[in-house]
Structure 1
Amino acid sequence: MGDDEPAVPETPTNEIADEPVDLIDELKPMYTSPAPFLARFLPQSAPTYLGLRAPYCDLHAFLKYLHEIAWHGYIHASLGDQSAYVLVFEGRTVAAAAASATGEQALGEMLNLYEQGADISAHPLSHTLAHVLSGVGSRAWKFNLTEDFTGLHARPSGAIFYARGEIVATMPATLPYEGAFPAPLRPQTLILPRSLAGWAHHTYSPTLRGRDAVNPITDIHLSFKAKYGPPGIGLMKAILQNLTPAEYAMREDLALHEIEPLLQDFSKTGYLREG
């Protein structure tokens, strides 16, 4: 069995449910001896979606769909001996890992693999497990168990999943040393790198009409607000502050696919300058 070959999924029903459980789940790792930290601690879970591949499935549309249904789980892209793993929390991509990258760069690697013909599978997790795993990145930290600690405690003897200071699961996946991956209180959405979403890393210049759109005393503001609502007002104000869409998305914890249609419409309707 290869390093990235999934084991036979054995997903207990209480692993996917979000209701509290009295017993501590003993999870089994999905992948055998993978190098990236995130992949090492992903639990077995039968795929909800399997065999997704370009050009039959638009990956951007699929990620948008997962966002709309507030899905929790992880996505695995595999092409030959290359793999990338992306964790999804509340429908947002919040952690990613590939052979030599983590975070945004690894998310970009997954999209690159997909465009080259990689197969995609998506495996569900409970809200709790997805939150615990959201802090797994490129390095482990010194473990300090507090009464509200949420995250992963990895040891040579196995891993312990904590939620709000309580053990919720264990897994026989190890590190050669003791370390912790604390989960953020609110996992932040990963933003695609410039190489894959250049439009999101540019600044945009509003026209006079665009400036009037956020001026409450103008008629244009009333029509703009009626059409785009608070999301449109917020984005236009960010543009006036010289923020890029990526910076605005990071600040407001938004996904780029929520911003791109607004930006395109602003350009078509004369709120932004051409070029």
Structure 2
Amino acid sequence: MADLTPELVPMFPGAGPFLARFLPYSPPTHAGLNQQFCDLHAFLKYLHEAAWYGYLHASLGDQNAYVLLFEGRTVTAAAASATGEQALGELLNLYEQGAALSAHPLPPVLAHVLSGIGNRAWKFNLTEDFTGLHARPTGAIFYARGEIVATLPATLPYEGAFPAPLRPQTLILPRSLAGWAHHQYTLTLRGRDSMNAITSVYQQFRTQYGLTGIAFLRALGETLTPAEYAMRSDVALHDLEPLVQEFIKTGCVRES
């Protein structure tokens, strides 16, 4: 019986960054986006709300950056000399400088397999529930829960594995690009009243921001930064920025 395991085609054959090297070919749903007519933060918000799976590629001259999305969340990224948050920042920087951006959809299972690719490979240990990429000098194997789901003719010079997390974590923008998200904020008297159900301020606050706003304000009061809260509660960071600005403007919090 013929082997029915799909063999994928590399999108960026010979690419340096590990993530780019193992991204499979996928025709873009969006291509040629640039900052003159497309706000990248609005586009990321759109992908988040659509729970989109796939990858973004930004290209400017010979500079490239790649970001993988899982459930509409940015979960891993790579650029020439950076991975993770720094590479996500690199993609945003390139976009601001005029890079063209494309978005390539992937089946959820492939996005999950790729979500563990960072800046190093680990010793391969196939367990019955292994999800991730097994890279070898002869090609790569995509595993989901111990089963081979695809192969890809892209290689490493040595054998290694990129295990995928059970639930991929959201990347948070680095401090250099989103300093506000890494600050701590102190509740004012008005902010504390906004969480006290017997006050009129609470009723106004709840009407305007809902229980999610109250939960975020409470977290700030417990000295969590917006970045920490976004990771713990699986909220998109770009949804929190206008709330922080509003909380400061209305006198509910101030920067510590």
TM-score, normalized by length of structure 1?
0.89
Displacement, 1:99? 0.5
Corresponding position of 2:36: 55
Contact 1:84 1:106 in 2 (8 A): yes
Moved more, 38-47 or 234-243: 234-243
Q: Which one of the candidate residues 237, 245, 252 is aligned to 2:218?
A: 237
Displacement, 1:258? 1.6
Map residues 168-247 of structure 1 onto 2, 5 A cutoff: 168-247=149-228
Query: Per the alignment, in what secondary structure is the counterpart of residue 152 of structure 1?
Result: strand
Q: Give ranges in structure 2 of 5+ residues lacking alignment.
A: none
Q: Which one of the candidate residues 51, 68, 81 is aligned to 1:100?
A: 81
Q: What is the alpha-carbon distance in structure 2 between the residues aligned to residue 274 and residue 101 of structure 1?
A: 30
Map residues 2-17 of structure 1 onto 2, 5 A cutoff: none
Q: What is the alpha-carbon distance in structure 2 between the residues aligned to residue 64 and residue 197 of structure 1?
A: 16
Q: What is the alpha-carbon distance in structure 2 between the residues aligned to residue 250 and residue 274 of structure 1?
A: 20
Answering whether residue 31 of structure 2 is matched by residue 76 of structure 1, we say no
Moved more, 260-269 or 46-55: 260-269
Q: Which one of the candidate residues 119, 144, 150 is aligned to 1:138?
A: 119
Query: Per the alignment, in what secondary structure is the counterpart of residue 124 of structure 2?
Result: coil
Q: What is the alpha-carbon distance in structure 1 between the residues aligned to residue 13 and residue 130 of structure 2?
A: 28
Corresponding position of 2:92: 111
Q: What is the alpha-carbon distance in structure 2 between the residues aligned to residue 49 and residue 29 of structure 1?
A: 19
CA-to-aligned-CA distance 1:3-31 (integer Å, 9 cap, x gap): xxxxxxxxxxxxxxxxxxx9321101001
CA-to-aligned-CA distance 1:45-77 (integer Å, 9 cap, x gap): 000000001221111111111101111100001
Q: What is the alpha-carbon distance in structure 1 between the residues aligned to residue 29 and residue 168 of structure 2?
A: 23
Contact 1:191 1:255 in 2 (8 A): no
Corresponding position of 2:105: 124
Query: Per the alignment, in what secondary structure is the counterpart of residue 85 of structure 1?
Result: strand
Contact 2:113 2:164 in 1 (8 A): yes
Query: Per the alignment, in what secondary structure is the counterpart of residue 239 of structure 1?
Result: helix
CA RMSD of superposed structures (Å): 1.5
Q: What is the alpha-carbon distance in structure 1 between the residues aligned to residue 218 and residue 253 of structure 2?
A: 12
Displacement, 1:274? 7.3
Identity %: 74
Query: Per the alignment, in what secondary structure is the counterpart of residue 94 of structure 1?
Result: strand
Answering whether residue 145 of structure 2 is matched by residue 158 of structure 1, we say no
Corresponding position of 1:8: none
Q: CA 1:50–1:212 in 2, change beyond 3 Å: closer, same or farther?
A: same
Query: Per the alignment, in what secondary structure is the counterpart of residue 86 of structure 2?
Result: helix
Displacement, 1:221? 2.3
TM-score, normalized by length of structure 2?
0.95
Q: What is the alpha-carbon distance in structure 1 between the residues aligned to residue 133 and residue 140 of structure 2?
A: 7
